[in-house]
Every structure is written in structure tokens, then in C-alpha cells.
Structure 1
Amino acid sequence: MRISSRIRITATATVVAFAGAALPASAGTPGLGSPHIIRHLDLAAGQQPENLTTEPNGSLDVTMSFAHQIVRLTADRGTHVLGTLPAPPTGTDAPLTGRAFIGGIVRLPDGTLYVLYSAGTADLTGLWRLRPGDVPSRVVPLPANSVPNGLALHGGYLYATDSSLGAIWRMTPDGTAAAVWKKAPELAARTPSGFGANGLKIRDNAVWVTTMDKGTLLRVPIGRHGTPGTVHTVAAGLGAVDDFTFTGHGDDVLAADNAGNRVELIRPDGSHTAVLTAADGLQNPTSLARRGDTVYVADASYYTHTDPNLIAAPVELLEHVRVRDDAAGAGQRAAAGPGPRRS
């Protein structure tokens, strides 16, 4: 596959900024082009990234799931713990995961960070806020049996998936209002032990959600007065799909298949194909974030227990992927079973 000079410049800039090691593209597999591991993380220190967002200066803010930490990774390879959420009492059995778990993260223009915490206790579970230079504080309490997971900001509200209750919450950033915005069978897992609604993004006045247990990508329109519309299934057969991001090319989506060690390119017609695999360095991908022409993938190594990391790849090659898929007749729906629970 030929790479244009503009794409080569993008990939090289990523390597210089993070001093990552180049990885070969997967042979015979459509890819984002020149994926690079930009940071190897410390598994022994609990550095298993669950979600991430970008800073204007090129840094990445990452939630470290079971370490309950919010960490900033800088371009000069610095690692700064911005805040650590309090742990629940020893022996607390948090829903689905068995232990306390920090999930989605959102950054406001003033630098304030919001994260979701599933701790298994009523005094800790909910939406937490971290202002620059401050300590984390809970602003929205959520039920102890909830697993708040994906998070996005839209129209002055924060929307959050609930993986155990099969719902979407809507909350104000100041914590003055919080309620279940949408609850539907499509958002629920097939079994009580499975993850239902997981990743969440908002585009064109609609909430887009993945369900890990069912392997689906869903779309819920936001009505004129903020009320939810009918759930529409965009794609199915996605495996243990976790978080996702839009490519910047219409409604095309890049989604992380956690247990399957794949990043899938999903088209608006529901067809999908793998564009990154374990051969590109994936270690149970959990989330993706896009800044400009670059997509960042967080790998938690939940099941491989080998090399949690962050990968970057230039997004421009998606144009080449589309042409190649159409010519080869690839990207068809493929059946996939649910991924195993995190442990």
C-alpha cells in the first residue's frame, strides 16, 4: 500500500514527539498505516488504561482502571498522576468487575476533568471532578450497583453509559441534576454478569453507544427538548466492543474490540473490518481518541497481562482502506461472541 508524503510526515511527527518504536503493518490486513507504540506502561504499577482524552499541548489524560488514577502522559515521556480516587473498603465486591474501576474521562475547555467511578459503594460510585491543581471530588452520586463507564459532554450535559443497569445517565457538570436519560433492552447485557452499554460518543445531536456483551453499535437521537428517541442499531457482530471514536470522515467509526485484540472500522451501513490487530501491538484495546490526523489507542492488557501501552496511527489512510475494502469485497458483517468479563 502506497503512503503519501503527507501521511509519512504525520507518522514521523508522532514518533518524534513520543520517541516510540515503529511497528510493521499487519500483512494482508487493511490498517491505519504506520501504527506506532508511543508508550509502554507499567503493568506491575497498575497502569492499565481504560479511557483517554487529549490536551491542547499534545499530552494525553488517561484513566488507569483498577489503580483508580487519573494520569497525564506528556510528549517528553513524563508521567504525572493528577489524582487518585479513594479505594472502597477491602473486600468490596464491585458489580461486574469485582473491584473498583475508573472509566470514562472528559476534558472541559478550562482544563477541568470529569471521570466515572464504579466502586461498589454508595459513597464513592458516581461522577468525579478534578480541577487543575485540585484534588478529585465527587459531584454526582450514582447507585452502588451501577457501573458508569463511557462519558461525553453535549449541550451543557454529561452523558454516561451504565454497563450494569443497561442505561444512559444525563447529568449537569455541577451535579445539580442527574437522572436516567434512556433505559432500553438494547442497552442491556444478555446476562446479569455481562457488560451492557459501554462506550459513548455524541455526534450530530445523537448519542452513540457500544454494548460489549452484545457486540453492537447503537444510535439514540436527542430530541428537540433533550428527550431520547428510539434506539437504532448501526452495526452488530463487533465482538467485545469497548470504546470508540469517529474518524473525521462522516459517520465512519473506529471501535476497540477488547478481547478480540482488534480495532474495527465500522461504516454507516453496518459493515466492518479490522484495521489494527495484535500484530500491530494491540494488547486488549479499551478506548480511542482522535486529535487532528492521529488516532490514539489505549491497550489495557486485561487478558494478555503482557504489555499495556498506547498506540498512535495516522487517520488519513482510512481513505485507502475504504477503496481496498470495496475492491476486495471485505468489511462484511461477521458473527462474534461476547468477550469475557474483565478480571
Structure 2
Amino acid sequence: MLHSVLSKLSRSNVKSLAQGALVLLSAASALIAAPAEGSRRGGIQTFARTPANPGFPEGIAVDGNRVYVSGPATFGTAGKGPSKIFVYGTNSEDLKSTITVAGEALDAEHALSCIAVDGPGRVYALSTQLGLLRFTRAGHGYVQQSYGAPLPDLPACAAAAPGEACSPTPFDLPPIPNDIAFDEDGYAYVTDSFQATIFRYAPGGGAPEIWFQSEALAGGGPQPFGVNGIRLDPLREHVYVSVTFSLADPSVGAIYRIPLVDAPDEADLELVHEYAGGQAPDGFAFGRSGKLYVTLAGTNAISVLDEDGGEASRIESSPCDEIPLDAPANVAFNDAKSTLLIVNHALLSGNADNFAVLKVPVGDRADPLEKPWLP
């Protein structure tokens, strides 16, 4: 996921970052052009095209007969229209309604990343400007309210005062809220891609607290996006996260897991799978089978990991597909169809024709996400 870096980065820096990422990921694609053993090509269909305004979709959540898709998750949004969430039906690819975010300062950078749903069906969305928002359905529309405060801007630990909360990164960057997952008690875990931190909101929202930090979650390279996607494992014993570009080697990404406890120690961080060559793991989802479906934005593929963390197969585009995989960002299951829904972020290409949600039959269903009943 790529968002605004707010006031700390100029437009020229943003352009340089994006160009650098394009070079890195283009090289990665060339390095890994050959399909992995057990890869599967073809069979990817279009579920829905998402509007070019605001474009760059990233988040997806399925609740009952509704599919929610959020965006934009990109740089250069200052002076453009508001962020939005599009609502589709699981049995129909037509756009049912649109939720438009209110209260953004549109003359400044603004973005909407990932989303989640609670027990009553309320939608939670991460805004770079406004924090954690909640949308409650009311008739044919949705009512917006603030649920959680924006993530704090932490100083780099090297420059922090003794005892001051800080970020285990080599230099200071603003917070970038990325993905969100609930546990059964109603805590919301949020990844911060620029501050190597996982924050946690208590049930009922309010101010976020630091739950876990590690230099291993820090990003590197022209696009320093570290910790990215987040989900609980089927046994609810661990929190799984992805790191897109690692600090030690930006061509390497990884899936890690952390014990689901109140105060995990940094030594508890465990490597599940490593992706070399700039494959750039982003969002992911567990299937009921126990398999983990991971989007690879750098190589336009879905990596399917088995329960031991080994790669069992890959889902890749075919020349016959109407819309190719283009920097896929997140996935969710449409259980009614036993299909995997894939959000085409199309970040580096910027090709509006590829802004879409794709679908592919996988013979699997979702490991049910926690959808707590919150105040």
C-alpha cells in the first residue's frame, strides 16, 4: 500500500520515491518472470471495475451480501476529490452505493487504505488524515463517525528523549496506517508501514497504543514500506503480518507472525516465509483450508502458502484474462461462490482500466474474520 507521506515529503520527493519504486519492481518482475513450480495461469475474471475517481483501490471487506472496496491509496491526492468506499453485492457486480468520506482537507494529501467490518455490519476505514473512521448503515446511506484518533507521529529512536515513545527506524517518517484486523475481544490492530509499529485500539476506539515494534518491520529502499498486511491465524494464537521491502535488503519481503498476547516481546517475532527479488508481499487472507493467500505487488501474482509456510502454488494472469493482475493489494473470499476476490491496486502503472476487483475460483472459503460487537 502506498499513501501520502503528508507534510514531511515534498511533491518532488514523492515523484522520486514513485520512480524509484517503479525501477525496483520492474527489475524484480524481470528476475522472477518464470512461474513458480505449481503455478496456475488463467481463470481470472472481472468481478467489478472500480471508478477512476478516486482510483487506486486497496482495501476490501466482505460482509453478508456486500463487498466493500476502499481508496485511493496513492501519492499526489492533494487538490483532488474525497476518499470513497464502494459497495457491491456478492451476487451482482453492479455498484450498489458509494460512501464518500467527509471532513478531509482536500487541499492536502489524503488517502484511505484498508477496511474491516464488525458484528453489526459497521465498516471501519483507515484514513491518513482522520484516523480510524466508522460507517453505520442508515437506510440507503451510511453515517460517518470518528472511532479512533490518528496514529501518533513518533520520532526515530536514535533522536528520541529517554523514555519517549519512538519508532525503531533509521530516520524519521510520518505514520502511514495501512491494514486493520480485529480480535475477538474487539481490539483493532493496525499496521504502520513507515514507523515499524503495530498499534492497537481498545474496544470502543479512542487513542491508539503501541502493541509491537521491531526493526524487522521497518522498510527500506526508494519506497520504505515495511509492515503492511495483518490478519489473525485460524487458531487465534498469532498475528500474521507482511513486510513489503525490508530495511536490511529492500529486494526481500516476508511474512512474520507474533504471539497474540497483550505485550509480545520482540524476540517472539517468527519468520514464516521470505520472498526474494522484489516480489513485494502486500495484503493476505487465510482460507478455511489453512492456506494463506498473499498478494505480490511486485510480480503481479498471488502466492498460496501451506500451513507450514511453504509455497504450494501461485495464481497468475493469462493473456485470456480481460484485466490482468496489476499490483494486487488485498484479497478476500466470496464464500457463496468459493472464489477469491483480488483488489487490483494498479499503483505503478496508474492504468485506470486496471482499477478493479478480480475473482478466481480457488475451491476454498474464508477463515472467518473476527467481527466483534463493539460499543
Q: 3-state SS of the aligned residue for 1:38?
A: strand
Aligned to 1:129: 134
Q: Is the 2:331–2:341 contact (alpha carbons within 8 Å) kept by the matching residues of 1?
A: yes
Q: Percent identity between the aligned chains?
A: 22
Aligned to 1:197: 227
Deviation at 1:271, TM superposition (A): 2.9
Aligned to 1:249: 289
Aligned to 1:16: none
Aligned to 1:46: 54
Deviation at 1:191, TM superposition (A): 4.9
Q: Which runs of 5 or more residues in structure 1 are unaligned?
A: 1-25, 93-98, 319-343
Q: 1:140 aligns with which of 124, 128, 148?
A: 148
Aligned to 1:95: none
Aligned to 1:151: 180
Q: Are residues 1:210 and 2:239 paired?
A: no
Distance 1:222 1:84, change over 3 A: same
Deviation at 1:232, TM superposition (A): 0.5
Work out the CA distance in 1 between the residues paired with 2:334 and 2:101. 26
Q: Are residues 1:297 and 2:354 paired?
A: no
Work out the CA distance in 1 between the residues paired with 2:272 and 2:54. 35
Deviation at 1:264, TM superposition (A): 0.9
Work out the CA distance in 2 between the residues paired with 1:27 and 1:253. 16
Aligned to 1:261: 300
Work out the CA distance in 1 between the residues paired with 2:212 and 2:36. 42
Amino acid at match of 1:101: A
TM-score by length of 2: 0.68
Amino acid at match of 1:266: L
Work out the CA distance in 1 between the residues paired with 2:145 and 2:361. 36
CA deviations on 1:9-53 (whole Å, 9 max, x unpaired) are xxxxxxxxxxxxxxxxx999633873211112333x223210101
Work out the CA distance in 1 between the residues paired with 2:37 and 2:307. 24
Distance 1:188 1:76, change over 3 A: closer
Q: 2:325 aligns with which of 269, 282, 301?
A: 282
Aligned to 2:168: none
Q: 3-state SS of the aligned residue for 1:186?
A: helix
Q: 3-state SS of the aligned residue for 1:288?
A: strand
Distance 1:236 1:132, change over 3 A: same
Deviation at 1:274, TM superposition (A): 5.5
Aligned to 1:23: none
Instruction: Give the RMSD, CA atoms, in angstroms.
Output: 2.5
Amino acid at match of 1:218: Y
Q: Is the 2:58–2:330 contact (alpha carbons within 8 Å) kept by the matching residues of 1?
A: yes
Work out the CA distance in 2 between the residues paired with 1:84 and 1:56. 23
Amino acid at match of 1:116: L
Aligned to 1:63: 70
